Amino acid sequence: MSTPLIWFVFMNLSILLKPGYCTETSDQVLSITPQTQEQVDTLRNVSTHYETVLWQPVSNEYISTQVQVHLYVPGNSSVTVKAILQKHGITHKVLLANPNVLTEMQMKNDSTDPRSGSTFYERYHTLEEIYDWINRTAQDNPRTVKAILIGSSYEKRPLYVLKLSFNDRPNRKAMWIDCGIHAREWISPAFCLWFVHHIKRRWWRKNRSISKSGFCVGVDLNRNFDVDWGIKGSSQNPCEEINCGPFPESEPEAQAVANFLRRHKDTVQLYITIHSYSQMFIFPYSYTFDQAENHNDLLEMVQEAAQRIKRYYRNTYTYGPGAATLYPCSGGSDDWAYKLGIKYSFTFELQDRGEYGFLLPPSHISGACNEALLAVKTIAVKVLEKT
Ligand code: ARG
Ligand code: ZN
């Protein structure tokens, strides 16, 4: 019984330590800064006549005094190379004590390994995986991403261009990015994947305010209201989509709305904030799972709206209090308005349910709006009855 277990542990260790933990035999990357012309010549000589790979500079003619050289030294030439360096009084630092372990770890790339904890875009991928990704990305984003075959490599592998376009205006300006011209520069193709992933998600959500750090733009206005601000479902990080801003009502847009509603809170009976998408009618609370004091009234209103939409337009809307129906999150305008005293406060999430998502085609505008209109009317009539 215990034998397989011991084997298992041993094999894991052998992978981690391979090839050869003892520094004598493992490959290394050395950092060397030649001080004299003689040392420069020696390094040039070593890098051409011994089994080494110059990582930096790109070619040995660029080796010169006071310039850092990074030399990949395979285990089997380690002793010889170091002896030569020593003979010429050239000191070195070990930049990477065991690059093979790193290589292996990066090639392992096991997304099923729970310890890896990284996303697809935080790993390196084989060419096959990249081809798959190109196909999938083009298929999943038919309107914005196109894969264009522009030729093939010397070894007859297809070369694709991914064309990203976000509008159809004539004479658009274009930008070209290529990655992976040099095979060993793995981060380069990784960046191209990263970039496409990033840009195709660039559907702006926040306002345009510039954070203190100046690095990222935008505060999620629907996290910026003064209701349990910054606690749930929001982030202080300006780079995130749900950034709540530096303090409640820090943003001019949220402040303007809040000021207006504060001034008119005695007349405004019904607050509705329109969003998309998911076909949903949400009411307070989102910042807590507690029930709103007039929960039943609110529920009845959205239920009626959803039922009528179903009847007239055959479309399904879900509904309920935000925290339970959608997700808990604080700083939202609906909860804020409710707490200000506007007892009928709703978030509408219009069409669709993800078929086009944020790219709802113009031909769907009328349908989406008519449904929302019906919901507004239904709810407004009910509010009038209650107040
Ligand atoms: N999609 C909206 C958002 O995340 C839903 C808002 C619901 N209300 C709320 N207070 N979170 O901003
Ligand atoms: Zn929204």
Q: What is the pLDDT of residue 272?
A: 93
Q: How far separated are the first and last CA of the chain, in Å rounded?
A: 75
Closest ligand to C-alpha of residue 287 is: 1
Residue numbers in the chain where pLDDT is lower than 50: 1-23, 113-116
- Give the pLDDT confidence score for residue 109 in this predicted structure: 56
Distance 294 CA to ligand 2 centre (A): 24
Q: Three-state secondary structure along the chain?
A: CHHHHHHHHHHHHHHHHCCCCCCCCCCEEEEECCCCHHHHHHHHHHHHHCCCEEEECCCHHHCCCCCCEEEEECHHHHHHHHHHHHHCCCCCEEEECCHHHHHHHHHHCCCCCCCCCCCHHHCCCCHHHHHHHHHHHHHHCCCCEEEEEEEECCCCCEEEEEEECCCCCCCCCCCCCCCCCCCCCCHHHHHHHHHHHHHHCCCCCCCCCECCCCCCECCCHHHCCCCCCCCCCCECCCCCCCECCCCCCCCHHHHHHHHHHHHCCCCCCEEEEEEECCCEEEECCCCCCCCCCCHHHHHHHHHHHHHHHHHHHCCCCEEEEHHHHCCCCCCCHHHHHHHHCCCEEEEEEECCCCCCHHHCCHHHHHHHHHHHHHHHHHHHHHHHHHC
Residue found by looking up tokens 């991928």 in the block: 125
Name the residue with the closest Cα to ligand 1, atom 5.
347
Q: Nearest C-alpha to atom 10 of ligand 1 is from which residue?
A: 332
> ipTM of this model?
0.94
pLDDT score at 97: 84
pLDDT digits (tens, 9 = 90+) for 259-277: 999 999 988 899 999 998 8
| pLDDT tens digit sequence for 97-139 | 888 777 777 676 555 544 445 678 888 889 999 999 999 888 8
- Residue 335 CA: which ligand 1 atom is closest? 10
Please state whether the peptide bond connecting residue 327 to the residue before it is cis, i.e. omega within 30 degrees of 0: no
**Ligand nearest, relative to CA of residue 319:** 1
Question: How far apart (Å, rounded) are the C-alpha atoms in residues 192 and 38?
Answer: 42
- pLDDT reported for residue 10: 30
Pocket of ligand 1 (CB under 6 A): 222, 275, 282, 286, 322, 326, 329, 332, 334-335, 347
The whole-angstrom distance between residue 243's C-alpha and the CA centroid of its chain comes to 14
Q: How far apart are alpha carbons 330 and 223 in whole angstroms?
A: 6
Confidence (pTM): 0.56
Whether 61 is catalytic is: no
Using alpha carbons, list the distances in angstroms from residue 224 to 238, 259, 355: 12, 13, 29
192 CA to centre of ligand 1 in angstroms: 32
Question: What pLDDT is attached to residue 216?
Answer: 74
Task: Tell me how far the alpha carbon of residue 69 lies from the centroid of ligand 1, in angstroms.
Answer: 54
Query: Which of 249, 251, 349, 371 is labelled catalytic?
Result: 349
Rg of the chain, C-alpha, whole Å: 30
- Give the residue whose CA is nearest to atom 1 of ligand 1: 275
